[in-house]
Amino acid sequence: MSQPHRRPNLTALDLVRALVPLVVLILVVAWLSTPAEVDPVREVDPGPQLAYAATLGDFEVLAPGNLPDGWRATSVRVDPAVPGGPVGVSVGYLTADDRFAQLVQSSDRSAPADVLGQGYAAAGNELDIDGEPWRQVQTDDGELGLVSERAEVVLIVTGSADLAELRTLAGSLRQR
């Protein structure tokens, strides 16, 4: 009869020696599978939606001309009219300083109250921005806004951006 095979006495050090390569392998795989830093902001091209809005409304849809480097369009929405009703288009931007600025164009004269809040109030003087009259207002949330009421359209620029950035967006608007 053969003798049973004896196992050598294993120590804690032997256990560590066996586990170290496995732990190193797991850490390497985890490090390699970690995605690179990704900017969470999704940029959009507002051009097609602005073109679509232009086919719906009775006003000329404006688009920003040359915005400073670092500005990114992040959202666009067209609110089409019911037959004979108002048309609105909204484009959101993230400024180079990571602040939000929104441009709203609407044929609805009540748009300022809808966008800025029912209690929006004049916060400053009438402004001339690139040859066009704008009124500085304050939203119900305390943010600044600019409103320009023109023959066929109401333009609103608002957001967490500072006044200089809002003026930049308002002053960049051009015919498409």
Q: What is d(CA 157, CA 115) in angstroms, rounded to the nearest whole number?
A: 10
Q: What is the pTM of this model?
A: 0.75
For the domain made up of 47-175, the CATH class stated in words is alpha beta
Q: What is d(CA 102, CA 83) in angstroms, rounded to the nearest whole number?
A: 26
Q: Please, what is the average pLDDT of the chain?
A: 86
pLDDT band (50, 70, 90) for residue 93: very high
CA distances 128 to 92, 95, 109, 167, 171, Å, are: 23, 22, 21, 10, 9
- Strand, coil or helix: 35: coil
pLDDT at 134 over 90: yes
Query: Would you kindly state where each structural domain of the chain is located, as residue ranges?
Result: 47-175
Half-sphere exposure of 24 (CA within 13 A, CB side): 6
pLDDT at 2: 64
